[in-house]
Amino acid sequence: MINKNKNNNKLFVARCVLYLFLSLFLLSNFGGAGIAATSDVAKWFTSSISLEEGTIVAIDSGNADAVAVASVDQSTKLLGVVVPADKSTISLDGNNQEGKVQVAIAGRAQVKVDKSNGTISRGDLIGLSKVSGVGAKANEGEPVVGVAESSFGSEGDNASEETALLPMIVSVGVAPSSSVADGATSTTWVRSIAGRDVSALQLFFVFFIAAVGVLAISFLSYSAVRSGVVATGRNPLAKPAILRALSQTMIMVSLVAISCFSLMYFMLRL
């Protein structure tokens, strides 16, 4: 009887521990009506000023361990969103918190947003607003800090200055572009060579140079081979001279090809 009671007590304790961990998991990951989103992974960074929850921050150019309020001209250095000290599942470098802020770098967090780029729907990418540290619906090709988990605003609502805290999945990147930027029609491989978008006029000259080069190489090669075949048929003893002429033609073809590629590259880099 005593062993049976001991076993029952152990089973009761095990169930209590299991329920406790399950409750903590549900609260931290799903929350309730009055519970804000909790960051999964956050890191402490130095900051010269105190920053509110939801502020979008960027890496400080002068110090990799420091952050500053993100602005449009710092959009390529986005890092994450400021979260309170007690709202992170995993917190890194939090031993000395004086003069530092905790930044969510992965998982869920609350972000300040406005409607300057229109109303935000669940699943929209969040980029930067014109107001420093505040997010907005991202346009194509713009840097983003995450994905909205709920909506903000409604159709016909023009109060763009209104801000709110919106739950978001932190994911720094760039919004995909379905069309090429105005005045540029270059493909990905052309941009990789030029290092930027290329105008339609530049692209026209590049294809024109390529076409002229192909025609010139084709004409030289065809003429040289045809002349060599005809000359060999008429005089087999002239074969060494014909081979020298073909070699010279191949050198000329190589020079034409190099010149064309150089001109094309020069046009792309202008």
**pLDDT (tens digit per residue) in 69-92:** 998 887 778 889 999 988 888 888
Q: How far apart are the first and last CA of the chain?
A: 91
| Cβ pair 56, 78 in contact under 8 A | yes
8, 16, 242 from 2: Cα distances, Å: 10, 21, 110
Q: Rounded mean pLDDT of the chain?
A: 77
* Predicted pLDDT at 232: 73
- Extract the tokens encoding 146: 């995450």
Q: Which two tokens stand for residue 234?
A: 């008429």
Q: Which pLDDT does position 38 carry in this prediction?
A: 58
Q: Does the reported pTM lie above 0.75?
A: no
Q: What is the pLDDT of residue 15?
A: 56
Give the model confidence (pLDDT) of 123-173 as tens digits. 999 999 989 999 999 888 888 999 999 998 876 666 667 889 999 999 888
Using DSSP bridges, classify how beta strands 125-128 and 56-60 pair: parallel, antiparallel or unpaired. unpaired
Tokens representing 175 are: 């919004």
Q: What is the pLDDT of residue 111?
A: 94
User: What stretches in the chain show pLDDT beneath 70?
Assistant: 1-39, 155-160, 177-198, 270
What phi and psi values does residue 162 have, to the nearest 5 degrees? -70, 135
Q: What is the pLDDT of residue 142?
A: 86
Q: What is the spatial distance between Cα 129 and Cα 116, in angstroms, rounded to a whole number?
A: 7
pLDDT of the residue at 27: 44
